[in-house]
Chain A
Amino acid sequence: TVGAVAVDCAGNVACATSTGGIRNKMVGRVGDSPVIGCGGYADNSSGAVSCTGHGESILKVTLARLILSHVEQGKSVADASRLSLQYMGDRVQGAGGTIVVSPSGQWAATFTTERMAWAAAADGVLWFGINPEE
Chain B
Amino acid sequence: MMSAVLVVHGGAWSIPDEIAPASVDGVKAAARHGSSVLKSGGSALDAVEAAVRALEDNPTFNAGCGATLNIDGEVELDAIIVDGRTLASGAVSCVKNIANPVSLARAVMEKTSHVMLTGKGANQFAESIGFIAIPTDKLVTEYEKKQWEKHKKYLAGVMEEFNTKWTHD
Task: Give the B-binding residues of A (Cβ under 8 A).
Answer: 1-36, 39-44, 47-48, 50, 52-57, 93-101, 103-105, 107, 109, 111-123, 126, 128-130
Interface residues on B, range: 35 or more
Q: Say yes or no: is B67 at the interface (Cβ < 8 Å to chain A).
A: yes
A9-B2 CB under 8 A given contacts A16-B105, A31-B169: yes
A95 to B99, CA, bound (A): 28
Interface residues of B in 118-169 (CB under 8 A from A): 118-119, 144, 147-148, 151-152, 155, 158-159, 162-163, 165, 167-169
Shortest B48–chain A CB gap in Å is: 4
Shortest B29–chain A CB gap in Å is: 8
Shortest A32–chain B CB gap in Å is: 7
Name the contact of B14 in the complex, choosing from A13, A31, A104, A115 (C-beta under 8 A). Answer: A115
Shortest B36–chain A CB gap in Å is: 9
Q: Say yes or no: is B97 at the interface (Cβ < 8 Å to chain A).
A: no
B91–A34 touching, CB < 8 Å: yes
A sample of 11 more A-B contacts (CB under 8 A), given A16-B51, A28-B94, is A2-B56, A11-B2, A16-B49, A18-B63, A18-B77, A21-B77, A24-B148, A34-B105, A54-B162, A99-B9, A113-B12
A9 CB contacts on chain B under 8 angstroms: 1-4, 38, 41
A95 CB contacts on chain B under 8 angstroms: 12, 163, 165, 168
B48–A5 touching, CB < 8 Å: yes
A94 to B62, CA, bound (A): 19
Shortest A104–chain B CB gap in Å is: 7
Residue of B nearest to A116 (CB): B12
Name the contact of B68 in the complex, choosing from A21, A40, A115 (C-beta under 8 A). Answer: A21
A30–B118 touching, CB < 8 Å: yes
B5–A6 touching, CB < 8 Å: yes
B26 CB contacts on chain A under 8 angstroms: 117
Name the contact of B9 in the complex, choosing from A20, A103, A118, A123 (C-beta under 8 A). Answer: A118
B158–A24 touching, CB < 8 Å: yes
A101–B152 touching, CB < 8 Å: no
Residue of B nearest to A11 (CB): B2
B115 CB contacts on chain A under 8 angstroms: 36
Interface residues of B in 17-50 (CB under 8 A from A): 20, 23-24, 26-28, 30-32, 34-35, 38, 41-45, 47-49
A-B contact pairs, 17 of them (CB 8 A): A1-B168, A6-B48, A8-B47, A19-B62, A22-B162, A23-B158, A24-B69, A24-B155, A25-B71, A33-B80, A44-B84, A54-B168, A111-B12, A113-B168, A115-B15, A116-B15, A129-B24
